[in-house]
Amino acid sequence: MPRVLITDKLSEAGLDLLRSTPGIEVDVRSGLTPEQVREALQEADGIIIRSGTKLTSDLLEGQQRLKVIVRAGVGVDNIDLDAATREGIVVMNTPAGNTTSTAEHTIAMLMALSRNIAPAAQSMREGKWDRKAFTGTQLAGKTIGVVGLGRIGQSVARRCRGLEMTVLGYDPFISAEKAAEQGIELYRDVDELVVKCDYVTVHTPLTDETRGLINAQRLAKMKRGVRIINCARGGIVDEDALADAVEAGQVAGAALDVYVSEPPKESRLPALPQVLCTPHLGASTDEAQEQVALEAAEIISAFLTRNEVRYAVNMAPISAKELAGVKPYLDLGYRLGLLLSQINRCAPVESAKLTFRGDAAGKPTRLVANAFTSGLLSSALQENVNIINAQLLAQERGIEITESTSSDKGDFSTLLSATVTCEGRELTAAGTIFGQDFLRLVRLDDFQLDAYLDGNMLMYSHRDRPGLIGAIGTACGKHNVNISHMALGRRKVGGDAVAFFNIDNEPPAEVIAEVAQHPDVTDVQVIRLPPAGAPLPWLGL
């Protein structure tokens, strides 16, 4: 019988659901040392944790029985995801459970900040009656920028609309149609959005791309008197830059629930009278605690009793035999997604259609489609985009991913074709597998070619003229850029053409500038793919 270990406090509603599930044994233990957790995991098929338990690589290594970890909450920074993946352990979280509570806390902070609720209440405790000192500003008619339109961001935006605010939103992938349905004026550039806002609230994950997203430069561009809210993740807003902007009067006020370090002992912000701080209360409601517990219980029960995977943040379990057969196709799909995400200069992608022909049609196409989608989204959503959650992330942003299959082999024994649509325009790339591991790009729109799908690639569109290849080679040679392979696609002699140079090292800007200046070159860019044979990022193999 599968055993579920619970090492942190969990709502009784979640425990009751687990205990009432046939075929599940529940083992509740709290206050364990790391070594005791390691020992307890040896007798567990699954574990539910909150923030109190840290599952490090030392605890997870060699856990042959453990199959699944469920985090009752969103953040999984207390779980070593790489270690879990290496051990074949699925990690899942509960992204929906605290959406409403976090959105409501954001609105509470927004209103309290605007009406000086906290300092006015403190003044009353001190026996004062000073109405003029706490004159605020109304929200109706003001413009708020919501940076990040995931579940919580969209929930905040809907509530702001109810407050009669004008809502602007930034998200690199949500479709314009989905944003318009919710009354959000969509922007693709953060800098274009923030200059128009009276309030800015952030709701992105914390990644290398979003760390310091609201920095000194962007704060300086905003309207004087803007107000900033962060109930997402500490570090998205540069705390020192925000403190400087508040002290200088550029920012009229800020409301923070999250911090780079918690508690924020070194931060200047809590001491500033214009700043409202709370101790990470976004999900601290009875309802949210119960909801994440119920969601965690449902997720782990479904996995252990029905092999159902929901909200995974790493790869799903797969046998060695299955992996050997499908891994080249996962790699091909992932690289085609990466390729199209870089070639496509239209944002956002509205849809993608994948066509599997020949041997590819007999593979697990949904898994390969998820690998493609993870590549397509990874440039904007670098954290936890994988073959399990890629489809969900695409759906949330209004991107439709469809699949079709055909047993007709055509010119290749196996072929995967992907077409992305954006603003009515289509871009198609198709790839195949030679042998077991050699991945090739064989089509780009209606150009036929044979390019290696690995490493750095110099791609340029041009008019087919004598001497051009030599000029490109000379430009690369002058700057010690070695060309390992070249592929050319053209419709007719002397007409439009496209070429890919596989190069052994990153080309300096001088090479790109020189190639771009050639009179027969119409476009040039560098495509960056993993090296040949590189492990898939969510396989850990």
Report d(CA 320, CA 378) in Å as an integer: 26
Return phi, psi of residue 30, to 5°. Answer: -120, 160
Report d(CA 396, CA 235) in Å as an integer: 24
Beta strand 425-434 with 414-422 is antiparallel
Report d(CA 284, CA 302) in Å as an integer: 26
3-state secondary structure 42-72: CCCCEEEECCCCCECHHHHCCCCCCCEEEEC
**Could you give the residue ranges of the DSSP H alpha helices within 93-150?**
99-115, 117-125
Angle at 414 between CA 412 and CA 417, to 5 degrees: 95
Q: Can you give the pLDDT at residue 43?
A: 96
Classify the C-alpha dihedral 470-471-472-478 as positive or negative: positive
Tokens of 356: 């599997």
Report d(CA 122, CA 192) in Å as an integer: 38
Q: Can you give the pLDDT at residue 388?
A: 64
Closest CA to 489 of 452, 450, 519: 450
Beta strand 521-528 with 483-490 is unpaired
Report d(CA 142, CA 126) in Å as an integer: 32
pTM comes to 0.65
Report d(CA 373, CA 386) in Å as an integer: 8
Contact 5, 27 (CB under 8 A): yes
Burial-class residue 513 by CB neighbours within 10 Å (0-12, 13-18, 19+).
Answer: exposed
Q: Can you give the pLDDT at residue 336?
A: 96
Tokens of 227: 């107000």
Neighbours of 88 (CB within 10 A): 18
Helices 117-125 and 99-115, interaxial angle, to 10°? 60
Active site residues: 233, 262, 280
DSSP string over 410-472:
TTSSEEEEEEEEETTEEEEEEEEEETTTEEEEEEETTEEEEEE-SSEEEEEEEE--TTHHHHH
Report d(CA 113, CA 275) in Å as an integer: 8
Report d(CA 443, CA 455) in Å as an integer: 18
Spell 398-435 as b/e; 16+ CB within 10 A means b.
Answer: bbebeeeeeeeeeebebbbbbbbbbeeeebbbbbbbee
Angle at 449 between CA 448 and CA 451, to 5 degrees: 150
Contact 257, 278 (CB under 8 A): yes
Q: Can you give the pLDDT at residue 345?
A: 64
pLDDT in tens, the chain (541 residues): 899 999 999 999 999 999 999 999 999 999 999 999 999 999 999 999 998 899 999 999 989 899 999 999 887 878 998 888 778 788 999 988 889 999 999 999 999 999 999 999 999 999 999 998 999 999 999 999 999 998 899 999 999 999 999 999 999 888 889 999 999 999 999 999 999 999 999 999 887 889 999 999 999 999 999 999 999 989 999 999 999 999 999 999 999 999 999 899 889 999 999 999 999 999 889 899 899 999 999 999 988 987 777 888 876 555 445 667 888 999 999 999 999 989 866 667 889 999 999 999 988 888 899 899 989 987 666 445 777 677 777 888 888 999 999 877 778 999 999 999 987 789 999 999 998 789 999 999 999 999 999 999 999 999 999 999 999 999 999 999 999 999 999 988 888 999 999 999 999 999 999 999 999 999 999 999 999 988 887 654 4
Report d(CA 65, CA 88) in Å as an integer: 10
Contact 8, 50 (CB under 8 A): yes
* Residue 370 C-beta-side C-alpha neighbours within 13 Å: 23
Report d(CA 511, CA 172) in Å as an integer: 29
Classify the C-alpha dihedral 369-370-373-375 as positive or negative: negative
Burial-class residue 316 by CB neighbours within 10 Å (0-12, 13-18, 19+).
Answer: middle
Cβ neighbours of residue 269 under 8 Å, at least 6 residues apart?
239, 242, 243, 246, 254, 256, 259, 275, 277
Cβ neighbours of residue 408 under 8 Å, at least 6 residues apart?
357, 358
Closest CA to 213 of 188, 237, 232: 237
Identity (one letter) of the amino acid at 189? D
Q: Can you give the pLDDT at residue 316?
A: 56
Report d(CA 201, CA 256) in Å as an integer: 10
Find how far residue 355's CA is from the centre of its chain.
Answer: 25
Cα distances (angstroms) measured from residue 326 to each of 262, 470, 536: 43, 40, 12
